[in-house]
Chain A
Amino acid sequence: MHPLISLLIISSIALLFGFIVMWVSKKFKVEGNPIVEQINAILPQTQCGQCDYPGCKPYATAIANGEAAINQCPPGGEEGIKKLAELLDLEVLELNPENGSEETIDLVVEVVEEDCIGCTKCIQVCPVDAIIGAAKQMHTIILSACTGCDLCIPACPVDCIISIPAPIPNTINRIEKPQLYALVKEAQQL
């Protein structure tokens, strides 16, 4: 066949597929960025800012835009990094130590009531509105709503907020993972 004819045929097929792709992308366009929602659903919603972004949604947006790495979230931990890697088809990385370290138990905060001066500074910074109180009135933390982000601790001018282990209902009883064949562990420590 004349080479020009084959060239023509191939280019017209390419053009045709190009038009199909353009049409499909316009027709099935989704509003907003669904990937951001999916990433946000994986993040632990602590709103602590340890990732260097002001909240989980901004961090999710940054990941979606490729501006942030997936290993900047200490509350999400290793499990969260794995899930993000699976979602976005990226490499699983180690948690970046500059952003913090993974906590072994869940923490919330509590106001030491003897020292509270009722200044409302902590109420203003809580990202999930978990502190009840008003000016010159006692401030209290709603333990079930607190995410343990610790943003209120530096905000308090009299240092009266402390971290305590998060209350877990009696119906949830965490059991330890059984050890694999113990001899292997011993051998690996030798």
Chain B
Amino acid sequence: MNNKVFNTQSAPHIPHTNTVKKIMLLVWLALVPAILAHIYFFGTGIIIQLTISIMFALSFEAMTLKLLNKPIKLFLNDFSAIVTAMLFALCISPIAPWWISLIGMFFAIVVAKHLFGGLGQNIFNPAMVGFAIVLISFPQAMSIWIPPHDISPYALSFLENLQIIFYNQFPSLVSFDTLTQATPLDSIKTALSQEYSISEITAKPLFGNFGGLGWEWIANFYFIGGIFLIYKRVITWRVPAAVILTTLIISLPFNLYNADHFIGPLQHLFSGGLMLAAFFIATDPTTGCSSHKGQIIFGAGVAIMTVLVREFGNFPDGVAFGILIMNMSAPLIDRLTIPKAFGQSDS
């Protein structure tokens, strides 16, 4: 007994069971309802997009880790690349060409994540960087969506989806125009510029009760998934609350001022990527703020940018840009909102 040399590590000596892998798996789980709703409304294209995004993401991650001499298995196993790929795939069209994923994942994983330092060190949200770059570089490829199956004249089968994504070959029986349609927000923007009023636009069957048919359900599931994550203490409640409340507060005056030209608060909330951003993208801890006050400011900023771009900007949806601009400001906000330490209240 006296001669044994014991292991000397430092406290704490009973480790917690929380790991990065667990967190990422919970995020994955929270996205499953929304993905299922997506498949129901828009067909199987999303499965193909998810698969190729994840494959590209993992390959780029493995390649970059090898080049940087970092342990590959350790970092691939933490599943953060998979979550990035999933968020990206959920933002693009289900029939987007395969090279959109390739380029998006390249910029997301190699440039936005690893060139800035890897896990935990990146300034910008990788999924949003990838998305923003493909959105600006390939506007046409990014604007061909398909209508939800309720109003679609033609439902694409799995094979047909594969053909479109990989070979850019559309089914010969149907014309391109019949098959594809812009997103609700895109339609609103185009129609507004053609001097239609909101009530005329939203009367079309593309727009469900609020936010676009199909889209509003997906947004609902993002909301449910997000609440699940808050319950499991994976994300903080402050950011989604700030995003949602600020959206409602900012869009209400515009809507009251001219309901014909500006869509209402609930429509803002349930259309486009706002719900996804509120719970899954703006809550990304690496690229957000650490202090509690900072998180609220961050969420509010995202919402303001999104609403402004939607109302006055050139792009139909401003979520990606809102996120990226707030990512840039996050360190500054952190500096300004350092909480008062214990015992500092008098000084």
* Chain B, range 46-99, C-beta contacts under 8 Å to A: 69-71, 74
**Nearest Cβ on chain A to B245's Cβ, whole angstroms:** 39
| CB <8 Å contact, A188 and B69 | yes
In this assembly, does A184 line the interface, its C-beta being within 8 Å of a C-beta of chain B? yes
Which of A178, A181, A190 contacts B69 (CB under 8 A)?
A190
With the chains together, A184 CA to B72 CA distance in Å?
10
| CB <8 Å contact, A183 and B69 | no
Which of A183, A188, A190 contacts B74 (CB under 8 A)?
A183
Interface size class of A (residues with CB under 8 A): under 10
* Chain B, range 173-221, C-beta contacts under 8 Å to A: none
Instruction: Give chain B residues whose Cβ lies under 8 Å from the Cβ of A186.
Output: 71
**Nearest Cβ on chain A to B77's Cβ, whole angstroms:** 12
Interface size class of B (residues with CB under 8 A): under 10
Instruction: Give chain A residues whose Cβ lies under 8 Å from the Cβ of B71.
Output: 183-184, 186-187
With the chains together, A183 CA to B69 CA distance in Å?
11
**Nearest Cβ on chain A to B9's Cβ, whole angstroms:** 11
Instruction: Give chain A residues whose Cβ lies under 8 Å from the Cβ of B10.
Output: 178
As a 0/1 sequence over residues 203 to 241 of chain B, the CB contacts with chain A under 8 angstroms (1 = contact) are: 000000000000000000000000000000000000000
As a 0/1 sequence over residues 156 to 190 of chain A, the CB contacts with chain B under 8 angstroms (1 = contact) are: 00000000000000000000001001011011101
**Nearest Cβ on chain B to A182's Cβ, whole angstroms:** 10
**Nearest Cβ on chain A to B247's Cβ, whole angstroms:** 40
With the chains together, A181 CA to B10 CA distance in Å?
15
With the chains together, A187 CA to B71 CA distance in Å?
6
With the chains together, A184 CA to B70 CA distance in Å?
6
Instruction: Give chain A residues whose Cβ lies under 8 Å from the Cβ of B74.
Output: 181, 183
With the chains together, A179 CA to B127 CA distance in Å?
31
* Chain B, range 8-22, C-beta contacts under 8 Å to A: 10
Q: Point out which of A178, A186, A187 has the most chain B C-beta atoms below 10 A from its C-beta.
A: A187
Instruction: Give chain B residues whose Cβ lies under 8 Å from the Cβ of A184.
Output: 70-71
With the chains together, A178 CA to B10 CA distance in Å?
10
With the chains together, A186 CA to B72 CA distance in Å?
12
**Nearest Cβ on chain A to B236's Cβ, whole angstroms:** 26
Instruction: Give chain A residues whose Cβ lies under 8 Å from the Cβ of B69.
Output: 187-188, 190
Shortest Cβ distance from B66 into A: residue: A187
**Nearest Cβ on chain B to A187's Cβ, whole angstroms:** 5
With the chains together, A151 CA to B248 CA distance in Å?
73
With the chains together, A18 CA to B248 CA distance in Å?
52
With the chains together, A181 CA to B118 CA distance in Å?
14
**Nearest Cβ on chain A to B226's Cβ, whole angstroms:** 31
With the chains together, A162 CA to B74 CA distance in Å?
50
With the chains together, A190 CA to B69 CA distance in Å?
8
Question: Which A residues have a C-beta under 8 Å from some C-beta of B?
Answer: 178, 181, 183-184, 186-188, 190
A-B contact pairs, 7 of them (CB 8 A): A178-B10, A181-B74, A183-B71, A184-B70, A184-B71, A187-B71, A190-B69
Given pairs A183-B71, A184-B70, A187-B69, 9 additional interface contacts (CB within 8 A): A178-B10, A181-B74, A183-B74, A184-B71, A186-B71, A187-B70, A187-B71, A188-B69, A190-B69
